[in-house]
Amino acid sequence: GGILAVADRVDGRIFVATATDSPDAGPTKWKLAGTVGRPATDIIWVSNLNGGTGAFLVGTASDAIYKNDGRGYYQGTISGTSGNYTISLTNDLGNNYKASDLAVSSILQFRHFGNGTVFALTGGRGLWSTAYPDSADPTWRWE
């Protein structure tokens, strides 16, 4: 509630600001909160994840700089207070995710319509979906 987040398409840095700081938030209001270490494509908030407060999902793209085939996405939880937030990120998201083509895909966009279903649109590997709040390890399906 009240946090804006943006992800950097160059190196995956994630910046946050409180909603009261925008739309006129200057550079000093945006604070670095975390990084995925590779180009980020999209960032969304999924509320009430596993009975908790929710999580950020950060899509990543192919990374020619780091020459790393793994792409997929990261899940992040936020902590801290206004002006001093941090985001803890992981892409250790269970066996279903690790074994899927989604784990090595460039994720172009996420969509979450508030009904628990999250869609991930990939670059060349189709559309995927999962009922994200229902499981600690999301079960992704190729649509």
> For 37-43, what is the mean pLDDT?
90
- SS3 annotation, the chain: CCEEEEECCCCCEEEEEEHHHCCCCCCCCCEEEEECCCCEEEEEEEECHHHCCEEEEEEECCECCCCECCCCEEEEEEEEECCEEEEEEECCCCHHHHHCHHHHCCEEEEEECCCCEEEEEECCCCEEEEEHHHCCCCCCEEC
pLDDT digits (tens, 9 = 90+) for 50-78: 667 788 999 998 766 555 556 899 998 88
pTM of the model: 0.85
pLDDT grade for 29, boundaries at 50, 70 and 90: confident
Residue 40: per-residue pLDDT:
92
Query: Residue 80: is its pLDDT beyond 60?
Result: yes
Determine whether 2 is exposed, middle or buried from the number of CB atoms within 10 Å of its CB (0-12, 13-18, 19+): exposed
**Higher pLDDT residue, 105 or 137?**
105
Residue 14: per-residue pLDDT:
93
> For 100-104, what is the mean pLDDT?
90
User: How many whole angstroms separate alpha carbon 46 and alpha carbon 3?
Assistant: 13
User: How many whole angstroms separate alpha carbon 25 and alpha carbon 17?
Assistant: 8
Residue 73: per-residue pLDDT:
93
> For 25-34, what is the mean pLDDT?
74
Query: Residue 137: is its pLDDT beyond 70?
Result: yes
